[in-house]
């Protein structure tokens, strides 16, 4: 399916492009791009000073570049900014970043030629994935520059599963290397495409993760004989919160008709907080996610180039501003990181309640033969370790600051670092929830014949057992963890 952008894209559309859908622009967007390019040409012709058009960049902003050197300036910006390091960004992340670059140019205030945009769209359509190192961006520059390298026939890329030089990659998809014109080098490295693209992927994964968190909690609550009175609609309404209300409704739906819950009614005065406070923790995360969605969509509706061009061909206007700085993105990525780290931490605590013989009536560590078998004892260690890593990753990036470019760029918002930390926490949280689902299914195996599961939780249990079998210390558990983690990462909660 092809997604068509006119005025603004949504985060969900960007995530879909990341997952493989193609992208196209409406005719009005092409007209805006072409007109903005004519404005840049007018700026050059009239000799109007414009940052990165006929001046250096960063601390070199006051050094004028002669017209004959403007193509060289654009090319050199790509080369000098392509200094990322470390593991490469995954394909879906690269595709999302390119999609946001195209969406930003479509606003018509950047000034790149339409051919630049056509080639970027060709990357998406024909599966050309530039090599982009994941580390090195304080804001956005290095990731974008590595994509720009391939446009000019440099760098490296993967096409149809084969890594090759940028020039070979262009030839493989039927393109020629571009010679960049005035401002195009700066526009290609500028803006918030990197953090916005990565955040769009993160939002897509976080949304699914939170649905699975509710599902895992319900399966555990049923195995642990949870007291449903704490999730009564009228009780939860005493603490007004859309998130609490939504998660409470989800738990009631999933556990509706459960014989196991009915049999355990009144057996305890109240449950531990890792069971009783599920609506509060998951609900808080849901509300942070909703706020993050609003901010990312706002970012996509914004022009994030510096400088921006407007006016007319006869009276071109250029504005140097700070729209490429994205403190809101960094802050919301940090907030969602904290929220999901807390959801995962609560999941780890529920895992402990499933395996810990001191707090349940199940076999110790869910092992069929205690002593000879260790069951899920060490699986809980893994969850605890990942939860601790999440706690360290939850330290905010947005407050790190820093000084670069000879005091010219003396404030850094770190949105890309924040987005990468968020993705890392999601990775860990998916594993933790997979372990909880495995442990909860194992617990239900020991409850067979005692009472019936709810239809909602039974669907989840059956989906787990279709992919992994009951555990009897007969294989490494890591394989099961990977299998179930892949499942919940890519598939919505079964109903």
Confidence of residue 411 (pLDDT cuts 50, 70, 90): low
Confirm whether 292 is domain-assigned: yes
Handedness of CA 115, 120, 123, 128 (dihedral sign): positive
Tell me the mean pLDDT in the region 371-386.
94
- pLDDT given for residue 300 in this prediction: 97
Find, among 168, 104, 163, 180, the residue nearest to 129 by Cα: 163
Question: What DSSP element (H or E) covers 188?
Answer: helix 184-189
Residue 364 falls within a domain, yes or no? Answer: yes
Does 393 lie in the same domain as 475?
yes
Domain identity same for 71 and 149: yes
In a domain, 434, yes or no: yes
- Of the candidates 190, 213, 241, which is a domain's last residue? 190
Same domain, 171 and 204: no
Of the candidates 87, 75, 115, 102, the one whose C-alpha atom is nearest the C-alpha of residue 2 is: 102
Tokens 């530039």 locate to: 130
- Are 32 and 73 part of one and the same domain? yes
pLDDT of residue 59: 59
Same-domain status, 158 and 215: no
Residues 382-395: tens digit of each pLDDT = 999 999 999 999 99
What pLDDT does residue 405 have?
65
Element at 436 (helix H, strand E): helix 415-446
CATH number for the domain harbouring residue 81: 1.10.275.10
Structure tokens at 162: 């084969």
Q: What is the pTM of this model?
A: 0.95
CA distances 102 to 116, 134, 188, 305, Å, are 9, 20, 10, 12
Confidence of residue 50 (pLDDT cuts 50, 70, 90): confident
Q: In the chain, helix, strand, coil percent, each to 5?
A: 60, 10, 35
Percent of the chain with pLDDT over 70: 96
Three-state SS at 62: coil
The distance of Cα 219 from the centroid of its chain, to the nearest Å, equals 27
Tell whether 345 and 438 lie within a shared domain: yes
What number is the average pLDDT over the span 481-488? 98
Q: Do residues 421 and 393 touch, judged by C-beta distance below 8 A? A: yes
Tell me whether residue 186 is exposed, middle or buried, using C-beta atoms within 10 angstroms of its C-beta: 0 to 12, 13 to 18, 19 or more.
buried
Q: How far apart are CA 347 and CA 438, in angstroms?
A: 12
Residue 144 scores a pLDDT above 80 = yes
Burial track 117-156 (b if 16+ CB lie within 10 A, e otherwise): bebbbbbbeebbbbbbbbebbbbbbbbbbbbbbbbbbbbb
Q: Look at residue 400 in the predicted model and tell me its pLDDT.
A: 80
- List all residues 6 or more positions away from 278 whose beta carbon is below 8 Å from its beta carbon: 214, 217, 221, 231, 247, 251, 346
Among residues 311, 324, 320, the alpha carbon closest in space to that of 36 is found at 311
- Report the half-sphere exposure of 227 (CA within 13 A, side-chain side): 14
Domain membership of residue 495 (yes or no) is no
Residues 232, 165 share a domain: no
Q: What are the pLDDT digits (tens) for 427-462?
A: 999 999 999 999 999 999 999 999 999 999 999 999
Per residue in 89-115, pLDDT tens?
999 999 999 999 999 999 999 999 999
State yes or no: pLDDT of 370 exceeds 80: no
Of 134-148, 280-294, 335-349, 435-449, minimum mean pLDDT range: 134-148
CA 392 vs. chain centroid, Å, equals 18
Q: What's the confidence (pLDDT) of residue 64?
A: 72
For tokens 């929830």, the residue is 433
Q: Of 190, 215, 236, which marks where a domain is finished? A: 190
Q: Could you say which DSSP state residue 493 is in?
A: P
CA–CA separation, 461 and 469 (whole Å): 11
Domains held by the chain: number: 2
Residue that terminates a domain, selected from 172, 190, 208: 190
Whether residue 263 is found in the same domain as residue 314: yes
Phi, psi torsion values for 257, nearest 5 degrees: 80, 15
Same domain, 486 and 363: yes
pLDDT exceeds cutoff 70 at 139: no
Could you give the count of Cα atoms lying within 13 Å of 187 in the half-sphere of its Cβ?
Answer: 33
Question: Please, which pLDDT band fits residue 70 given cuts at 50, 70 and 90?
Answer: confident
| Shared domain check, 139 and 241 | no
* pLDDT at 130 > cutoff 80: yes
Q: Are residues 165 and 213 in the same domain?
A: no
- Asked, for residue 31, whether it belongs to a domain, the answer is yes
The reply to whether 297 falls in a domain is yes
Does 221 reside within a domain? yes
Please give the residue range of the domain that contains residue 45. 2-190
Mean pLDDT of 150-178: 98
Strands 22-25, 162-165: pairing is: unpaired
In terms of Cβ atoms closer than 10 Å to its own Cβ (0-12, 13-18, 19+), residue 1 is exposed
Per-residue DSSP letter, 454: P
CATH of the domain at 209: 1.20.200.10
Q: What is the mean pLDDT of the chain?
A: 93
| DSSP-derived pairing of the beta strands 2-5 and 22-25 | parallel
Q: Domain for residue 290, yes or no?
A: yes
> What per-residue confidence (pLDDT) applies to 407?
62
Q: What is the pLDDT of residues 289-313, one digit of tens each?
A: 999 999 999 999 999 998 999 999 9
- Could you give phi then psi for residue 317, rounded to 5 degrees? -125, 140
Taking only the tens place, the pLDDT of each residue in 28-43 is 999 999 999 999 999 8
Same domain assignment for residues 77 and 186: yes
């Amino acid at each position: 399916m092809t997604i068509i952008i006119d005025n603004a894209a949504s985060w969900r559309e960007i995530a879909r492009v990341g997952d493989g859908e193609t992208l196209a622009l409406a005719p009005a967007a092409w007209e805006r791009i072409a007109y903005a390019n004519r404005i840049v040409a007018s700026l050059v012709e009239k000799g109007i000073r414009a940052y990165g058009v006929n001046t250096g960049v960063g601390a070199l902003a006051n050094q004028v570049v002669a017209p004959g050197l403007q193509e060289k300036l654009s090319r050199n910006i790509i080369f000098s900014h392509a200094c990322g390091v470390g593991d490469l960004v995954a394909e879906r992340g690269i595709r999302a970043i390119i999609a946001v670059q195209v969406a930003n140019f479509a606003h018509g205030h950047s000034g790149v030629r339409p051919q630049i945009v056509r080639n970027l769209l060709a990357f998406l359509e024909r599966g050309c994935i530039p090599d982009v190192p994941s580390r090195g961006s304080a804001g956005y520059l290095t990731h974008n520059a590595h994509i720009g390298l391939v446009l000019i026939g440099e760098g490296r890329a993967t096409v149809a599963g084969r890594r090759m030089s940028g020039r070979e990659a262009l030839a493989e998809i039927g393109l020629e290397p571009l010679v960049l014109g005035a401002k195009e080098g700066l526009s290609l490295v500028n803006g918030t495409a990197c953090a916005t693209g990565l955040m769009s992927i993160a939002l897509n994964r976080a949304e699914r993760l939170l649905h699975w968190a509710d599902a895992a909690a319900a399966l555990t609550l049923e195995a642990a004989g949870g007291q449903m009175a704490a999730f009564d609609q009228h009780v939860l309404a005493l603490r007004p919160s859309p998130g609490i209300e939504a998660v409470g409704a989800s738990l009631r739906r999933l556990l509706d008709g459960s014989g196991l819950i009915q049999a355990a009614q009144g057996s305890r005065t109240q449950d531990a907080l890792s069971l009783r406070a599920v609506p509060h923790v998951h609900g808080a995360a849901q509300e942070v996610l909703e706020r993050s969605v609003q901010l990312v969509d706002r970012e996509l509706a914004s022009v994030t180039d510096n400088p921006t061009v407007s006016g007319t061909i006869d009276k071109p206007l250029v504005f140097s501003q700070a729209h490429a700085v994205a403190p809101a993105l960094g802050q919301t990525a940090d907030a969602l990181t904290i929220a999901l780290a807390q959801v995962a931490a609560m999941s780890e605590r529920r895992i402990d309640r499933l395996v810990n013989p001191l707090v349940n009536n199940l076999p110790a560590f869910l092992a069929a033969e205690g002593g000879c078998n260790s069951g899920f004892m060490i699986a809980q260690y893994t969850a605890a370790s990942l939860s601790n890593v999440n706690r360290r990753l939850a330290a905010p990036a947005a407050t790190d600051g820093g000084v670069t470019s000879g005091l010219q760029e003396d404030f850094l918002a770190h949105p890309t670092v924040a987005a990468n930390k968020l993705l890392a926490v999601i990775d860990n949280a998916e594993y933790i929830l997979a372990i909880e689902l495995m442990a909860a299914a194992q617990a239900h195996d020991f409850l067979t014949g005692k009472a019936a599961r709810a239809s909602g939780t039974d669907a989840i249990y059956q989906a787990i057992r279709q992919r992994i079998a009951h555990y009897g210390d007969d294989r490494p558990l890591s394989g099961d963890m990977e299998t179930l983690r892949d499942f919940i990462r890519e598939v919505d909660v079964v109903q």
